[in-house]
Structures are given as C-alpha cells and as structure tokens.
Structure 1
Amino acid sequence: MAAGAAPSLSFGPFLWGPRADLLLFGGSALCSFALVGAARAVGLAPGPLPEWGWLLFVVAVDVAHVWSTLFRTYLDREELGRHKWRYLGVPLACWALGALLYAQGSMVFWRALAYVALFHFIRQQVGWVAVYRARAGQRGVFDRVLDDATVYAATLYPVLHWHSRIATTDFAWFVKGDFVDLGAGAARLLPAAQLVWVGLLGLFVARQVMLAATTRTLHLGKLVVVLTTAAVWWLGIVRTNSDFEFTVTNVIVHGVPYFALLYAYAVARKHERPDILGSRIVAGGVGAFVGLLLLLAFVEELAWDRLIWHDRPWLFDSSGVELSPVWAALLVPLLALPQATHYALDGLLWRRGDTRTRPAQRRALGFSA
C-alpha cells in the first residue's frame, strides 16, 4: 500500500462465511424476487398459490423449518435433561391456551396464532441483525436502537398497509380474516408510517456507510439482512396483492436461513455428542437432515387435511372425519402445536446466555467455541 493511502475496505463479519451468508440471506431474497418475476411473466401471478407451490414453499420450507427446531431440543437427550420442565411445559401450555381460545371461536384461535406468528417472523429478523452486531463487537446503544427500529419499520409499515385493506387483500396469514381489519384508521397512518420507513432505512444505510468510512469495514451481512427484509416485506405485501407472491416472499427468506442455522448447530453438536439422536441423524449428511424434516412436514399436513381441511383429495385421499366443535377445539390446537411450540421456544433457545454457555450454539452462530 502506498504511503498515505487509505487502507482497503474489508467486509464482515459473517456468520458462516461471505459466500454462505450472502447466498442464504441475499440469495433467498433474490430467489423470491425471481420467482415473482417469472410467475408474472407466465401468468401465474397475481393469483392463488398453485398446488406445486404449496408443496414447495409451504410444506417443504415453511412447515419443515418448524420441525428443524427438534435438532436443538427434543432430539438431544442432554438438552432435555437440562430443561425437562421447559420442554414438557411449553407444549402443554400452548395446547391448553390454544384449546381455550378455540373454545371461544375458531377465529379467536387463528387470529391469536397469526399475530404470534407475525411477531415471531419479525423477531427472527431482529435476531439475525443482533447476531451480526454482536459478531462485529458493536455494543453501543445507538446502533442497537437504530438496528432494531429499522427492522421493525421495515416489517411493520407493510403490516400496517395490510391492515388498511384487509377486505380487498387476496392473501392471509393462516385463514381469511385472521388479521383485524383496521380500514380507514390504518390508512390515515400510512403517510406518516411511510416517512418513518423511508427515514429509518436511509439513516441505517447512512450509518453503515459512515462506519465503513471510519473503520474501513462494511458490515455487509447485516446490511443485506436489513435491506432484503425491507424489500421482501414491501414486495410481498405492499407492492403486490397475491397469495403466490406473498407466500414466496414470506417463507423463503424466513425459512431457508433457519434451516442453515439448525443444520450448523446439529453438525457442531455432533462433534460434542455423537451419541445423541440428532447427531446420529445428521451424520447421514444434509440429505438425512432435510429428509426427516420433509417427512414430518408431510405427515403433519396429512393430519391437517384428513381431520380438518379436506381440500387436497388428490394428495391425501378424499376420506376424512367431520369433527364436533368439542373435538375441533381439542384437535386443532394439537395439530398447530409444532408451530406454537416453535414460536414459544425460539424466543428462549437463542438468547445470549445460552449462546455463551453452549459451544455448539456459539459455533453455529459464527462465534468461536
């Protein structure tokens, strides 16, 4: 380097390496954009999600990624022994609360679950950014507040937009009408919300540029997570009005990086405890890991269809049972238990305290063991 020349710009830190991070976060977003563009080009969008799309995006990504939490919890007998009351009590509490809600009306249950799911999706993006911030050693209040506020704005502005036009929206989180129709009240807030959305995104980008100029390090991973979050939530909710486009933009960016995290954890755990069930499964490679999750996702959807929905006879046969209201109040929350438990446990499993004390978790998140 010539005398007086500025040092070259570096990029990072990353969780799994620059290629992996950019592929999993940036690549999953680009994939969803490409699918939306291709679907529009061939006339699939705007429109409903086709059956092949349901299999590929809902079953193989959204439902399957929920089951991947098993590798952090129920497939590890040492972890079960450490927190046996957590892993027994959380599902029991979720089922009991779900049954109580469903007894008040099916929409009460679905609405509560939809808002919990929404919170989970948002918090996952906040969590990724927090990990990148920790990896970079950023402990200042300003960056933490700005990062969190930007992610919340990037997600909640589209959600507010959604709530302003529930009646004309052609997609739903779980079932039609699960979100509350705020109508004109939400619409009046949109101009101010849009200003906050644009302002925080602009401030966030400016902050990253300023840090890059002063430290000669661009936190590219964090930047990609925030900007792709803003882009996919805006595209899938604000710019379009289509079940296909919402599903594609919603589930890929959420599910694919989570698969990677749990696989990284399972591999790291295998080196510590090769005897536990999760380690024996992942010893078969990524195929065994994904294969188990796809099998569990398919079985779950089979149960949903035969007992509740009865809307895919081409795949699950036309036979089924009609449930009484009492049985529905008991079985629907039971069938939703994998999701509800995933939402509840995910807020506990990846906390800083657990990361500090679990070498496998530290390695999975990119920290030294």
Structure 2
Amino acid sequence: MNAASLSAAVPVRAGWLVDRRHDLLSTVGGLSASLALLGLHAWVGVSGLVLWWAWVLALDGPHIFATLSRTYLDRRERSARARLLVGSLGWFAAGPLFFGVSVLLGRRLPFDLFLTLTSLWAYWHVVRQHYGVMTLYQRKNGDTHPVDRRVDSLTLYVGLLAPFIAFALTHPVARRMLGMPADPGPEQLLARAAWAVTLAVVALFAARQLQRWRAGLGVNTPKVLLLAAALGLTALLFYPPVSRRVDFLMVAVVVTAFHNVQYHGIVWFYHRNRYHGPNVDRAAFGLAPRISQRFLIYAACGIAFTLLYRALGCGFGVHPGCGAFDAKVMLGPNLSLRELTSGFIWGFALHHYYLDQKIWRVSRDAGLNKDLKLSAA
C-alpha cells in the first residue's frame, strides 16, 4: 500500500450504529457475554450443560423470536414479504427429508451429512452477521474506500474462518464428526498455516489503519473495535490450550452468545425506530408494536417462545440433559424418533439463518435504511 491508495479517501466519522453506550453494550459489547460464559466454564468449573441451557433460554431462543417479531408479527412485512415468509417455512422439512433418505437407503450417512452441514451453516451465519455489522459501520462512517473494504473483508473472513478450520482439523470431537481419525497427521501443518495466515491478515489490517492515521484520514473506531472483539474471541476460543479445556457443547455457546446479544441490540433499535418513532401509526403494524412496547415484554415473549419449541425437543430427548422416552422406537439403522425430531427442531435454526440473510439487505431496502437511521449517513 502507498499514498496513492488513499487518493480517493475522505476522513471517516466516528459514528456508532445507535450511540456509544448502546453499541459498547450490545453491538460490540456482546463479546462480554461470550467471555463470561467461557470463563465460568473453563476457569470456574460451571457445568457446560447448565450454561448451555442458560444460553438457550436467555439468549439464543429469544434471538430467533426477534426475527419473527419483525417479520411474521409485523402486518406490513407479512404483506410485503408474503412469498418469502411462506416459502421459507420449507426449511422445517429439510431435516425430516434427510432422515427419510437415510431410512430408505438403510444408512445414517445422509442424516449425518445433514447434521454436519447445519453445524457449518450455524457458524457461517455468525460470520455473516459480523460482516453485516461491519458494513453498517462502514456505511455509517463514510468508510467506503475500495482498498479499506477489501482489507476489512479479508481480515474478517480469514480471521473468523481460519482458526475455525484449524480447530476442526485438530480437535478430537470435531475430527470424529467429520469422519477423520482421532489423531491428526498432516492436518497439523494445515492448522499451523491457518494460524499463520490469520496473523498475517491482522498485521495487514493494522498496517492499513496506521497508514490512514498518518495520512490524517482517521480510523473508523467502532469498526476496529468490532473486528478486534470478533477476531479476539475466535482466536481465544480456538487456541488449542483453551479449546482443550472446553466441553465441545460449549463451543456453540461461546461462539453464538456474542452474536445473540449483538442481534438483540440491532433488532431492538430497529423496533424503536419503526414502531415507536414520532407520528407512527402503530395499529398498521399489528402485534409487533405491542411486543416491543417494553423490553421486558419483548424478552418475556422471546423466552416463552423458546420454552415452547425447546420443550418439544426436550420431550423427545433431543437436547442435552433431557430424557429419551423414544429410545426403543427405531425407525431405521441407528435412527430413532429422537433423530427425526432433532431434524425438525433444527428447522427453527435453518429457517432463521435463511430468513435473516433476506431481510437485512441494507443496500437494497430504503425502508430498512430509514429504520436503522442509515439514510442520514
């Protein structure tokens, strides 16, 4: 990089998505939830099972409800996105479909493939949200130089994916899920290369910020804090000495808690602007304004929704710590009613992942720009 790469750049602002306090508590500060859960488990010794259920009930299930609150419970959204909202429900059939294929073939492989793909999509969903928030900070602060956008994207994707790949190649449970032998061989070299590439892109990003600062163009502080939080958490969790102290069950908890808090912060801001701004006809939106009238109401509805659909999974022994009354109801080779129910329960997450990537397209949705107060920026 040289001075020519800054020729078309303009000084960035230091604008937050909502305001400094809100962003440091949620959009960026969601990191604290993940660190607290990781610390309680790895260094205090709290059971992963206890923390998994606390996370599911307080953060993860309600964040799925957050998506429903701004789509199915919003009368205008139901009308404008009717085809999407109806068609996306097909994701609930994906798990049972793979289950059926396994039963017909007499092999678990198709259903195991489904479980692997859903787990990978779950991580990719978190990566994409961090990317989306990063682009919001770019847009909010006029941080649009092509070089910065490329460097930012490279840093985020490599910084979040490379440590994950290193973890998947070397962690015993992850290797078993991927059908690899327990002990890694040449994969150790690939894992080390992944960490080396991560350090290289972080150094590149830091050099670019230093270059901008020396050129008097400033640094997009909220964006830098977001990337530092997301990449720092990923590096810490997947660093082998740390990952070996963590139950495999807790990996999803630590990765996703940050995303959950971040998502609630954005959705709540969206609700306040769309349904409770000045001169808003609340009756035109249906139930959404009532649910978001108070945060306690919004939170209570999210927890109630979570209890309902997780109770179904728990009753069939799908979730950790629950019974399994269907243990003898075999429907195929090593496939019981429990697996069939698990495939259906995954539909809540798959539906959320798919719907989420359709309803937050800021570049194509003028109304969304308005509701997130990006138009002025």
Closer, same or farther: CA 40–305 of 1 in aligned 2, 3 Å: closer
Task: Write the deviation string for residues 16-36 of structure 1: whole angstroms up to 9, x where unpaired.
Answer: 111211222443324433554
Q: CA deviation at 1:227?
A: 0.9
1:101 and 2:101 aligned: no
Mind listing any 5+ residue stretches in structure 2 that lack a counterpart? 1-10, 103-107
Alignment CA distance shift 1:85-1:328 (3 Å) = farther
Q: CA deviation at 1:68?
A: 1.0
Determine if contact 2:12/2:218 at 8 Å carries over to the other structure.
yes
Q: Quick one: percent identity of the two aligned structures?
A: 22
Counterpart Cα distance in 2 of 1:125 and 1:307: 34
Deviation at 1:11, TM superposition (A): 6.4
The alpha-carbon distance between structure 1 residues 348 and 142, as it changes in their structure 2 partners (threshold 3 A), is: same
Residue identity in the other structure for 1:195: A
Supply the AA of the counterpart residue of 2:190.
Answer: L
Aligned residues of 1:157 and 1:193 also touching (Cα < 8 A):
yes
Residues in 2 aligned to 1:31 and 1:112: alpha-carbon distance in whole angstroms = 26
Distance of aligned partners of 1:190 and 1:81 in 2 relative to their CA distance in 1, 3 Å threshold: same
Equivalent position amino acid for 1:12 in 2: A
Distance verdict in 2 for CA 1:82–1:30, change over 3 Å = closer
Cα shift readout 1:97-136 (whole Å, capped 9, x = no counterpart):
3333233333122112111112111111111111111112
Distance 1:114 1:41 in 2: 26
1:75 alignment partner in structure 2: 73
Q: Deviations over 1:251-273 (max 9, x none)?
A: 22111010111111122221344
Offset at residue 38 of structure 1 (A): 5.0
Query: Structure 1: which 5+ residue stretches go unaligned?
Result: 1-8
TM-score w.r.t. the length of structure 1 is 0.83
Residue identity in the other structure for 2:331: P
TM (norm. structure 2) is: 0.81
Relative distance call for 1:107 and 1:177 in structure 2 (3 A) is farther
- Alpha-carbon shift at residue 89 of structure 1 (Å): 0.8
Does the alignment pair 1:141 with 2:138? no
Q: Distance in 1 between matches of 2:313 and 2:63?
A: 17
**What amino acid sits opposite 1:49 in the alignment?**
G
On the 8 A contact 1:26/1:228 being kept in 2, the answer is: yes
Question: Would the aligned equivalents of 2:62 and 2:302 in 1 still touch at CA under 8 Å?
Answer: yes
Over the aligned positions, Cα root-mean-square deviation in angstroms equals 2.8
Q: Does the alignment pair 1:116 with 2:121?
A: yes
Indicate yes or no: 2:316 matched with 1:307: yes
Is the contact between residue 12 and residue 18 of structure 1 (CA under 8 Å) also seen in structure 2? Answer: no
* Distance in 2, Cα, partners of 1:248 & 1:134: 30
1:325 to 309, 320, 331: 331
Q: Check if 1:344 corresponds to 2:360.
A: no
Give the aligned partner of residue 297 of structure 2: 288
Distance between the aligned counterparts of 2:350 and 2:140, measured in 1?
30
Deviations 1:320-344 (A, max 9, x none): 4455537667543332222111100
* AA of the residue aligned to 1:84: A
Question: Displacement, 1:233?
Answer: 0.9
What is the rounded CA distance, in whole Å, between the counterparts of 2:196 and 2:157 in structure 1? 14
* 2:73 alignment partner, SS class: coil
Identify which of 5, 13, 16 aligns with 1:14: 16
Amino acid at match of 1:364: L
Work out the CA distance in 1 between the residues paired with 2:200 and 2:319. 47
- TM-superposed CA distance for 1:185, in Å, is 4.5
For residue 302 of structure 1, report the CA deviation from its aligned partner: 0.8
Deviation digits for residues 139-158 of structure 1 (CA, Å, limit 9, x no counterpart)? 33221211111111111121
SS in 2 for 1:325: strand
Out of 346, 349, 370, the position equivalent to 1:362 is 370
Report the 3-state secondary structure (helix = DSSP H, G, I; strand = E; otherwise coil) of the residue aligned with 1:293: helix
Distance in 2 of aligned mates of 1:250 and 1:301: 20
Counterpart pick for 1:85 among 73, 83, 86: 83
Q: 1:363 to 1:84 in 2, by over 3 A?
A: closer
**How far apart are residue 362 of structure 1 and its match?**
3.3
1:298 pairs with 2:307: yes
- In 2, Cα distance between the equivalents of 1:259 and 1:116? 20
Q: Distance in 2 between matches of 1:191 and 1:311?
A: 33
Correspondence 1:28 to 2:27? no
Quick check: 319-328 or 104-113, which moved more?
319-328
1:321/1:195 CA distance change after superposition, 3 Å: closer
